[in-house]
Every structure is written in structure tokens, then in C-alpha cells.
Amino acid sequence: MGYQDIFRLDGQVALVVGGGSGIGQASAEALAAQGATVVVADLKAEAAAQTAGRIESGGGTAEAHVINLTETKAVKALIADVVQRYGRLDVAVTTPSINVRKPVLNYTEEEFDRVVSVNLKGTFNLLTEAGRVMAEQGSGSLIAFSSIRSLVVEPGQAVYAMTKAGTVQLIRGLAVELGPKGVRANAIGPGVIDTPLTAPIKNQPDWYKAYAERSILRRWGKPEEVGGVVAFLASRAASYITGTIVFVDGGWTAIDGRFTPPL
């Protein structure tokens, strides 16, 4: 294995769900930059097409699809279409999640079901369907998005945090079961990343600043800083990494407290 080539993904086919914006878009572009053919799937057709267009304008190969991860039949159909067209699936990335920020005692049943359906069922749908294909072909990399909330929780995020911890355990289970068949499974745990989904926080200066100062690096992360980790986990450079979570959080989960004592 030559070190100059181990990050390359030439000849590989990658599916990125949630690739229309934010971290998903950065992930799709990072995979394409390393030579992968990228299938960009998103709930919004225009967003998926825009990302695919950005990749192709940069010299990469991509196509766009519309998908709702909570629709099991639709996920099966998308995976089947990818395999029929390209003959394989080497990388599957799932990024979509939703968060209803409110005290857990105030959660409605509908809100609970909605968060769990997208964050857990949707993730399960993609990983298991892609995992079947990869197990049969004897290779592949499954990448799911968890969060710092899988470890630490703040008021109003109990249900979201529950789903993110569940995602990590699902990844570990898949790693255990599919590893002997040549398939790796890993999670990524972003901290606060500057994306369209976090715009409501950015619009509140005190909240935005508090989050920035909570990390060791004293700033928010950028989508491309997460996309690079996706490309790494997909590559041969990560060939001995499976069943774990990689935190991309500026040290959020390493530092204790918000007060620096006099030393």
C-alpha cells in the first residue's frame, strides 16, 4: 500500500444521503475530490441537483436523486438502482437528522415519533440496505452521523441525544456483524458546525458566541472540516478503523466546564 494513494477513491461508488446542503454537501464534494463517483440524494430535488452540479463543474462525476429515508421501500429502490447502474456500492453516508428543542417532559408523542423516525429509522434503513450490498460484494464503508450529544446533553436535547447515542450503538453492531465480510462501519460526531440548519443559533449572537467559546478552539466548525473526515473513513487510510465514533468537535467533549480556574 503506497501512502500517496491510500486516500484516493478512484473507481469507487459513494452514496451520500442529505447531500444537498451543509455537512452532506461537503461530504459529497470531499468524496468526489478523491475520485469517487458520487450519488447525491436529498429530500429536496433542487438541492441534490445543485450539489451534483458543483461536483461535475469541478471535474467530478455525480448524479442527483430524491429520497426520504423514512420510506423503507424508497431506500431499497435507491440502493437497487445504484447497484444496477454501477454494479457496486463502496461508500454509504447518511447525514439527515432533525431536532425538536424543548424539555423532554413537554414532548408530544408526534414530536417524539418524528425525531426517532428520521434520526434512527432513517439511519437504520440506509445502513442496513447498503450493508447487505457491501456484505455480498465483500467490501464497503458505512458512515453514519451521530453528534457530541451522544455523550453530553444540554436542556432541550434529550430525545435528540437519545437518537444520537442509538446511532453509535447501531454502528457498533453493524461493525461487529459485517466486519468478517469486509465491511467497516463508523460514526462521526460533529460539534457545532456552521450550516444552514444552525442558522437560528447564529442569528442569536449570545447563543452563537457561547457555543464558540465552549470548544477548545473557540470557534464553530466548518462543513468541509467534517467532509474531510468522511473521505478519510471511506478510504484505505482508515482500513483498520471500524466500530467507533470520530468526534469532530474542536475539543468540545475533551474540555470540562466553562470556567478557567486560576492556576
Domain of residue 217 covers 13-248
Is residue 58 one of the residues assigned to a domain?
A: yes
Is residue 184 one of the residues assigned to a domain?
A: yes
pLDDT of 232-248, one tens digit each? 999 999 999 999 999 99
Average pLDDT, stretch 213-223? 94
Percent of the chain with pLDDT over 90: 92
Tell me whether residue 240 is one of the annotated catalytic residues.
Answer: no
Mean residue pLDDT of the chain comes to: 95
pLDDT at 173: 98
Is residue 263 one of the residues assigned to a domain?
A: no
Is residue 24 one of the residues assigned to a domain?
A: yes
The Cα 249–Cα 151 span in angstroms is 12
Q: How many domains does the chain have?
A: 1
pLDDT at 196: 77
The catalytically annotated residue of 3, 86, 107, 160 is: 160
Is residue 155 one of the residues assigned to a domain?
A: yes
pLDDT exceeds cutoff 80 at 119 = yes
pLDDT at 107: 97
Is residue 5 one of the residues assigned to a domain?
A: no
The Cα 70–Cα 124 span in angstroms is 9
- Beta strand 183-190 pairing with 140-145: parallel
Percent of the chain with pLDDT over 70: 97
Q: What is the CATH number of the domain that holds 125?
A: 3.40.50.720
Is residue 260 one of the residues assigned to a domain?
A: no
Alpha carbon dihedral 252, 255, 260, 263, in 10-degree steps, equals -150
The Cα 140–Cα 92 span in angstroms is 8
Least confident of 42-56, 158-172, 183-197: 183-197
The Cα 183–Cα 191 span in angstroms is 26
Average pLDDT, stretch 102-127? 98
Cell numbers for 47 = 438541492
Single out the residue of 195, 198, 196, 176 nearest to residue 186, CA to CA: 176
pLDDT at 197: 74
> Please, which pLDDT band fits residue 199 given cuts at 50, 70 and 90?
confident
